[in-house]
Amino acid sequence: MSPEAQVQILDAPAIHRALQRIAHEIAERNENNAEVVLVGVQRGGVHLAHRLGDTLSQIWGRTVPVGRLDINMHRDDIHQQLAPRVHPTSIPFDVTGRTVILVDDVLFSGRTTRAALDALNDFGRPKRVQLAVLIDRGHRELPIKADFVGKNVPTALAERVNLTLKEDGGEDKVCLIKE
């Protein structure tokens, strides 16, 4: 058994502050707020998208639509690993002509984001797509960059970043796990 060292990077108040800041940055960047919709990437991005949606709804005084997107049917490494568990995709609004904010928990290789962009395309043609992530841990393998970042965390390839949220029954925290 290899000893696992776990370091907490963000606690609940820090996650709250990061999301508040991202929401305000989104509001600042998108003056025409009627166009903006949020799409959370399954699984980690979905709860974060709803939290951002709640804050943005308060800022703008209107309900901001939130959808969720599963990218497993669009992965490029599907034959290299076990069949992934597919979670529901639900985008109950037309994305064509809208500004779609893709929300994910951790940005790493960029392959999930690439798959999400492909998957999103099947639902329409957004006017623009912006990317919001809670953690950017580096090690990009594709030319993909986040527009809104909660925290940049330098990591080693062998490390893992683990997010738990109270919506899933845990406490809000982000940990860096060394294996």
Partner 1 sequence: MSWNRKHLLDIESLSAEEITTVLDTATAFKAVGQRAIKKVPALRGKTVVNLFIEPSTRTRISFELAALRLTADVINFTAEASSLKKGETLKDTARNLEALNADIIIIRHRAAGAPHFLARVLNASVINAGDGAHEHPTQALLDAFTIREKKGRIAGLKVTILGDILYSRVARSNIWTLTKLGAKVTLCGPSTLVPKVFERMGCRVTYNVEEAIVDADIINLLRIQHERQRQTMFPSIGEYASLFGVTKDRLKRTRPDVVIMHPGPINRGVEIDSDIADGDRSVILEQVTNGLAVRMASLFLINGGQGPAEVNS
* Cβ proximity to partner 1, 60 vs 123, nearer residue: 123
* Cβ proximity to partner 1, 9 vs 41, nearer residue: 41
Which residues are 163's β-sheet partners?
174
* Cβ proximity to partner 1, 75 vs 151, nearer residue: 75
Binding residues for partner 1 (CB under 8 A): 70, 72-75, 78-90, 118-119, 122-124
Least separation in angstroms between CB 29 and partner 1:
29
**Buried b vs exposed e over 154-178: b needs ≥16 C-beta within 10 Å?**
ebeeebebbbebeeeeeebbbebee
Beta strand residue intervals within the chain, DSSP E: 5-10, 36-41, 66-69, 99-107, 128-136, 148-152, 160-164, 173-178
The single-letter code of the amino acid at 72 is: N
Least separation in angstroms between CB 69 and partner 1:
11
* Cβ proximity to partner 1, 63 vs 96, nearer residue: 96
Tokens 């804050």 locate to 55
- Of 71, 64, 118, give the one whose Cα is nearest residue 92: 64
Least separation in angstroms between CB 91 and partner 1:
9
**125 Cβ neighbours under 8 A, 6+ residues apart:** 95, 96, 97
The C-alpha atoms of residue 34 and residue 15 are separated, in whole angstroms, by 26
* Cβ proximity to partner 1, 5 vs 78, nearer residue: 78
Q: At 150, phi and psi to the nearest 5?
A: -70, -50
Least separation in angstroms between CB 166 and partner 1:
24
Least separation in angstroms between CB 100 and partner 1:
16
